Each structure stands twice: as C-alpha cells, then as structure tokens.
Amino acid sequence: MGTDDKIDAKTDELKGKAKETVGRATDDEELEAEGHGDQAKGNLKQAGEKIKDVFKD
C-alpha cells in the first residue's frame, strides 16, 4: 500500500468521522449519513490496497 494511498484512505475515514460527529451534534441527519459514507469509502480503499499488497508479494 503506497504512502499516498494510505493517507488518502485515512483522510476519507477521518473526514467521515468529523462529519458524523458534527451531524450528530447539530442533529443534521444528512451530514451524519454523509459522514458514514465517507468512512465506508475510506475503509473500502484501505481494504482494496491491502488486497493489492497481498498479490504483490
């Protein structure tokens, strides 16, 4: 997993957590859902990169 890919995936995950927290605090269900989506996107990217790494070895 390349460093840039790791950073990108982690950024998506952290951005999602922040959106979720703000959405929950402000009672904004749409923002909270968007945060969940961003987290899922980050997690999928990380999983995809880990699979690539397995096949590189």
pLDDT at position 7 over 90: no
13-32 average pLDDT score: 96
Percent of the chain exceeding pLDDT 70 equals: 96
Q: How far apart are CA 33 and CA 20, in angstroms?
A: 7
CA dihedral of 32, 37, 38, 43, whole degrees rounded to 10: 130
Provide the whole-model pTM. Answer: 0.79
∠ Cα 6 16 47 (to 5°): 40
Domain boundaries, the chain: 3-56
Please report, rounded to a whole number, the percentage of residues in the chain having pLDDT higher than 90: 60
54-56-57 Cα angle (round to 5) = 75
Query: What mean pLDDT is predicted for residues 17-36?
Result: 97
Q: What is the pLDDT of residue 24?
A: 97
